[in-house]
Amino acid sequence: MSDVVRRSARAILLDGDELVLIKRTKPGREPYWVTVGGGVEADDDTIEAALHREVFEELGGTVGRTELVYLITDKLDGGIGVQYIFAARLLTMDLAARTGTEFSNPERGDYEVVRVPFTPDALGELNLMPPQLADFIAINTQALASTLVTPVRMP
């Protein structure tokens, strides 16, 4: 069994009928899109707390209830990385409040907040990374949207 050497939290983040994404533009590379999120830090109490911190850092935003909907495991040097993918609804956003090294270091490229219709067709037109997350979202668009509308009650 390999050790987990990196954990990250990402959000399939809905605002109404739109998905909020970050369009990444780096010198020498075609633009690509990612969901909001990033690495879990040592001072994050939980993986969900890391998600809330990342939403604030990248969007100046807050989210409501979150649901863990998917895991992605990657082979990394020295072990594995696990990406915890949550579904969430955006409650507030203030781009002027964004913080983090990605905004203070121009060598990291541009981070443009974009909204796209939350439909398989619209998502299929984007180079959404990682590919397995793009596939998961496209296949489960309707289920993901309904997860965030109705509270789930188990018998």
**Residues 8-22: tens digit of each pLDDT:** 999 999 999 999 999
| Pairs from 106-110 (Cβ < 8 Å, separation ≥ 24) | 108/26, 109/24, 109/25, 109/26, 109/27, 110/23, 110/24, 110/25, 110/26
What's the total number of domains in the chain? Answer: 1
What's CA 142's distance to the chain center, in Å? 18
Q: Which two tokens stand for residue 48?
A: 């969900």
Q: Which helix (H) or strand (E) holds 138?
A: helix 131-139
In a domain, 112, yes or no: yes
Domain that holds residue 103: 4-147
In a domain, 63, yes or no: yes
CA-closest candidate to residue 30, choices 141, 127, 116, 138: 127
| 109 pLDDT tier (thresholds 50, 70, 90) | confident
In a domain, 155, yes or no: no
The residue written with tokens 């690509």 in the block is: 32
| 26 pLDDT tier (thresholds 50, 70, 90) | confident
In whole angstroms, what is the distance from residue 143 CA to residue 62 CA?
A: 22
The share of the chain scoring above pLDDT 70, in percent, equals 90
pLDDT of residue 45: 97
**Residues 41-98: tens digit of each pLDDT:** 999 999 999 999 999 999 999 999 999 999 999 999 999 999 999 999 999 999 999 9
In a domain, 154, yes or no: no
Three-state DSSP state, 142? helix
* CATH, residue 107: 3.90.79.10
In a domain, 12, yes or no: yes
In a domain, 14, yes or no: yes
In a domain, 98, yes or no: yes
